[in-house]
Structure 1
Amino acid sequence: MTQVRTAEPVQDDVGGRETGSDSRRGGVHRAIPIGSRPEPWRRGLVLAALALLLGLFMLLHAHIPNRAKNLGSLVETFLPWFGLFIPVLLTGALLRRSASAVVALVLPVAVWLNLFGGLLTDKSHPGGDLTVASHNVGADNPDPARTARDLAASGADVLALQEMTEQARGTYEKALAEAYPHHTVQGTVGLWSKLPLSDSRPVDTKIDVGPLGDTKPADVKLTYTRALRTTVATDQGPLAVYVAHLGSVRVNPRAGFWTGHRDRGAQALGEAIAADQNERLVLLGDLNGTMDDRAFTGITSRMRSVQDTAGHGFGFTWPASFPVARIDQIMVRGVDPASSRVLPSTGSDHLPVAAGISW
């Protein structure tokens, strides 16, 4: 039998007298089934389900297939931003006073903190034997001279540039000559150093067509040599340095997240690094992807990201006007990252990055 409880006194339909539940006074009964109003654990079940799905989505991101238009790589590129759904769901749970939704949010919070919580603390420390910097200067940079001056003022001992045009190359060489007496340029990438360089050569990153041609002005000329390897002579011994600018990526309805050139370049670069006999190695460059992307497993399995190891925050670098992803990387092997930072804008569509390393 359904339990009932009586309502508060109501107005009598006939005389308008206030009556209660006593039938002897002619009161009117209003039966309300107990439990008809949802309790806190029964409210917001949809919000709870969404919270659990969000947590599982981030936890199992590596299992999202790339066969469907590289969906897995696209998700991993912007994976930290999925954490923004957590406060949205929490707000909904509080408004609904849903205990089940609040408890379900423990899963996505724990997963997000496990993936990215370490980036929220400052892991840098003073010192470092060498400062390296890297910057995609932008093929359509309106003021390369200003960019060169800003980079020289950073105090980096070794400076890597990507996406230099033939027209701007002379400007960079002239503006950086005083601070950096040694340099090498291979195609669109170059390295300037305060220390002597040797054994400089191009590295094949398997780019067979111009992936930048549809985004650059018609008068901008780019060659397809987009990676180099050189050796920097330091007081602690030789340091192998790679500079790379991997192929661009595209998002369109037909191809989805198109990463063909970049992925081939990442594989070739990983193989070159794996075969390098030098104990100490640094990779500087615009890799057109984040290190969460599975396409870079060949690199991340052999090298450490300085931002993850000695940075503070996510270190987003692109686009410069409102950075949403770190696609400009400094990776190391055989040396210890001491610090990592993002430098101020120089007029390019990327932000420069710098790191201190020690032996």
Structure 2
Amino acid sequence: MAQQAYMTETGSGGSGPEPRGDRLRRLVNRFFGGRRGDARIWRRGVVLAAVAVVLALVMLMHSRIPNRVGNLGSLTETFLPWLGLLVPVLLVLALVRRSATALIAVLLPAIVWLNLFGGLLTAKTGGGGDLTVATHNVNADNPDPSGTAREVAASGADVLALEEVKASAMPVYESTLASTYKYHTVQGTVGLWSKYPLSGVRPVDIRLGWTRAMRATVATPEGPVAVYVAHMPSVRVKMNAGFTAAQRDQSADALGEAIAAERQPKVILLGDLNGTMNDRSLNAVTSQMRSTQGAVGDGFGFSWPASFPMARIDQIMVRGVEPVSSWTLPRTDSDHLPVAARVNVTTSATGS
């Protein structure tokens, strides 16, 4: 009896314990509902595998998606990080289908997404810095401009940019911010408030016919910095026209030209660009400046819409200064979240 029990415990014929590799294969085959060597676990889920491969290709080659039809490329790039949500969906479907082929294929989009956005999942915020800047699209229909002004001023920003400031609300913003910021300038619907003197103030023509961008030199204690404030035209997603962004794209090109011609070596851009850093249509700007959120932000820093942020369209970008930290501020009565960053003016940035 003892010998029989030993044979049952160790396996058929009493040849010893079952090797771990055989045990694993047996468990895998049992999960997939087949016998060892059953080809069905590979034939199932071919369609799921194909979808996974296509998803990986879309993320990997998003810059090749043409913009000729409805600006499809820019639309994809605007919400590119969200394509990662399809990976766990495909994973669950592959498990339900019990398909080894689909499970392996799902690894492809997972790896591509992590390569593109995995760096945003780790905290990169550093300490130090000598200048805090913030920007906020306050919304022309903001019901409480005074409260919004107080909230963004409480961020501690040394330099604050506001976009979409309605003329009738301008006196409210000016009076509310006066105690915090000694210097300010307003050009059209954008304004700049600063604790340090301003000079060289002028509107920037972004080919709209009215002023929605400006430039000023801020005399910080660490030296002069050229600060641009911009509000790019809005974009829309229409069923009959796709992603309508032609006017935004033209304005982005004009802003890029203005920044390229800037003689001041230290430059900061604050504003609502109505586009993400992935959107190729903003290349005229993004190719020559560095995003603080991508460099030193924690997470994606989505800023719009404020009720459920899905895209980072409010940007702080730098050239010639070193970003130290970047974050979003608490919600105001606007449909955008304010964003802020701390930079080091005294340290020249590399590769910015």
TM-score by length of 1: 0.85
Residue pairs, 1:274-353, within 5 angstroms = 274-353=260-339
Of the three residues 310, 329, 341, the one matched with 1:355 is 341
Deviations 1:254-283 (A, max 9, x none): 221100211111000001111101110000
**How many residues of Structure 1 are paired with residues of Structure 2 in the alignment?**
311
Shift of 1:38: 4.9
Which whole-Å CA distance do the structure 1 matches of 2:247 and 2:67 have between them?
15
Residue pairs, 1:5-20, within 5 angstroms = none
Residue pairs, 1:80-229, within 5 angstroms = 80-208=81-209, 224-229=210-215
Which whole-Å CA distance do the structure 2 matches of 1:350 and 1:290 have between them?
14
* Stretch of structure 1 that moved more, 100-109 or 159-168: 100-109
Shift of 1:333: 0.2
Which whole-Å CA distance do the structure 2 matches of 1:36 and 1:233 have between them?
74
Which whole-Å CA distance do the structure 2 matches of 1:300 and 1:147 have between them?
29
Which whole-Å CA distance do the structure 2 matches of 1:135 and 1:62 have between them?
29
The SS at the match of 2:42 is coil
Aligned letter for 2:278?
Answer: D
Which whole-Å CA distance do the structure 1 matches of 2:222 and 2:264 have between them?
13
The SS at the match of 1:41 is helix
Which whole-Å CA distance do the structure 1 matches of 2:144 and 2:79 have between them?
30
The SS at the match of 1:285 is strand
In structure 2, the partner of 1:269 is 255
Deviations 1:212-254 (A, max 9, x none): xxxxxxxxxxxx3100000000122110000000101111122
1:234 aligns with 2:235: no
In structure 2, the partner of 1:252 is 238
Which whole-Å CA distance do the structure 1 matches of 2:220 and 2:157 have between them?
14
Structure 1 vs Structure 2: percent identity of aligned residues?
Answer: 64
Shift of 1:36: 12
Deviations 1:283-306 (A, max 9, x none): 000000111000111111110000
Which whole-Å CA distance do the structure 2 matches of 1:94 and 1:88 have between them?
10
Which whole-Å CA distance do the structure 2 matches of 1:241 and 1:199 have between them?
10
Runs ≥4 residues deviating over 3 A:
34-38
Shift of 1:141: 0.1
Which whole-Å CA distance do the structure 1 matches of 2:240 and 2:49 have between them?
34
Which whole-Å CA distance do the structure 2 matches of 1:261 and 1:345 have between them?
28
Gap regions ≥5 residues in structure 2? 1-34, 347-352
* Stretch of structure 1 that moved more, 107-116 or 155-164: 107-116
Shift of 1:37: 7.0
TM-score by length of 2: 0.87
| Compared CA separation, residues 49 and 200, structure 1 to 2 (3 A) | same
Residue pairs, 1:3-42, within 5 angstroms = 38-42=39-43
Deviations 1:123-155 (A, max 9, x none): 111111100000000000000000011011111
Which has the larger helix fraction? 2
The SS at the match of 2:43 is coil
In structure 2, the partner of 1:243 is 229
| Compared CA separation, residues 225 and 98, structure 1 to 2 (3 A) | same
